[in-house]
Amino acid sequence: MPQTVSTFYAHTAVFKNNTTVLSGYNAFGQLGTGDLKNQSSFNKVSGLSLNRVDGFAAGGAHTLAFQRYSTVQAWGSNQYGQLGGDVTTGSSASSKTPVNVLKENDGSILTGVTGVAAGGYHSLAISGGNVWAWGDNGAGQLGNGDNGFSQKTRAVQVIDESTNAPLSDIVLVAAGGTCSYAMNSNGQVWGWGNNVDGQLLINKPDEAPINYANKAHLLSLPFPVKAISARGSYAVVIKKDDDTVWAWGYDGWGQIGIDPTDAATLGKDSKGNTKEYVLTPHQITILGSNGSRTDLKAAALPADVANQRVLAAGSDHVLVLTPQGTVYAWGLNYYGQLGNNDRNATSHEDGLNILYYSSNPLQVRATGGTAGQPTSSVFLTGVTEVYAYGHSSFAVANGKLVAWGSNLYGQLGFSDPSKSGMQENPAPVPGF
């Protein structure tokens, strides 16, 4: 019997042969294998009734997959109704196999799906340009305007706060832990849910974030964007006109591109502590050896922007695919998820502990070599896709899947005992 969710974002999903395969933590059946056994290799989903999988999302302990213009199915933890089907809810509730997502208004199956996203305990889908949401609503992350913040076990429509009508013309959705985002075809972004770290860019006059928004709020971005990714309490976007990368929200591990100890840039709160959040979009730049900075730019997006694999936010780290087919990473590096093959090079002492992070984007190194002894100037190339889950990272490089970062639950797909903890640089994933 599953236990209460305590291990978050420890399972992973990738494409293989027109479907999705999963690996890692499985205490709630989030791998869809029909059992509750963790897996250290990628497995097909049992009982998935889609003819093909066009997109997927891995939440805290649940998974979504959809067939374009058809249905979305969900499996794993259903503690707050995040599966969207007729499954019992509660701390140990789950489904080991996929269920159809149902609409609350008429009980019918949600169809016409073109994109999905999964947060900690909630889920999002695009259908006909509208956004549907279900699951936990404790911070307003369903965006349906419910002042009671009631969870929803079936999908409800997200409401635009300015029109009080369903949000429309949406082409991409993203989900943080307890917040949500949607981007329209013009590059405008709406956000709703938790805002305690400024992740919705809604601030008080004294520059403290308002706690939440329970309807979709148009973000005060100074420019249109072409993609957004989110996780935890932060978001990252690609600027539409020049492909530069910007971020805002929680910066505790430098994922906004600012050293979390930089009080001069971050400012201080009323208690004199350095703020841990950034309330305006901050441009991500690369620090060169001579001290100069250059713009980090992202690669071109696919026509199906809802399934972009150019920009990926993990729990506390970010991956960006560049036009040159290389990858840059920044943020937390405790598990080697930045792929620089030497996490000690990103160590910082705070007086009590050694912290591993980099607010400066680091170029991901090539496969092979010995951890802690990177070969200079040898970097991962030929990359066409990137994925970030929890503290784990993936890339498709020269047609092959490689992975690095946390493998505590087998989420990198390595059954080799020598890779059971973490992998500090990319390594080929067996079976790909």
Q: Would you kindly state where each structural domain of the chain is located, as residue ranges?
A: 1-220
Give the model's pLDDT for residue 1.
Answer: 31
Report domain 1-220's class. Answer: mainly beta
CA angle 397–398–399, rounded 5-degree value: 90
157-178: pLDDT as tens digits: 999 999 999 999 999 999 999 9
Q: Where are the beta strands (DSSP E) in 45-169?
A: 55-58, 62-66, 72-77, 94-100, 113-118, 122-127, 130-135, 152-157
Residue position matching structure tokens 């991500």: 284
Q: Which residues pair with 404 in a beta bridge?
A: 393
Q: What is the pLDDT of residue 2?
A: 35
The structure tokens listed for 381 are 């190339």
Show pLDDT as tens, one digit a residue, over the chain (432 residues): 333 334 679 999 999 999 999 999 999 999 999 999 999 999 999 999 999 999 999 999 999 999 999 999 999 999 999 999 988 888 889 999 999 999 999 999 999 999 999 999 999 999 999 999 999 999 999 999 999 999 999 999 999 999 999 999 999 999 999 999 999 999 999 999 999 999 999 987 777 788 999 999 999 999 999 999 999 999 999 999 999 999 999 999 999 999 999 999 999 988 999 999 999 999 999 999 898 999 999 999 999 999 999 999 999 999 999 999 999 999 999 999 999 999 999 999 887 899 999 999 999 999 765 544 445 458 999 999 999 999 999 999 999 999 999 999 999 999 876 777 899 999 999 999
Q: What is the pTM of this model?
A: 0.95
> How far, in Å, are 146, 151, 346 from residue 137 at the CA level?
9, 5, 37
What pLDDT does 369 receive? 53
State residue 204's pLDDT score.
79
Task: Render pLDDT for 390-402 as a digit per residue (tens, 0 to 9).
Answer: 999 999 999 999 9
Phi-psi region of 281 (alpha: psi -120 to 50; beta: other; left: phi over 0): beta
Quote the pLDDT of residue 6. Answer: 43
Q: Give the C-alpha separation, 144 to 155, whole Å.
A: 10
Lookup: tokens for 195: 């805002």
Determine the length of the chain: 432
Q: CB neighbours of 410 closer than 8 A, spacing ≥ 6?
A: 23, 24, 25, 38, 39, 40, 41, 420
Please name the amino acid found at residue 267: G
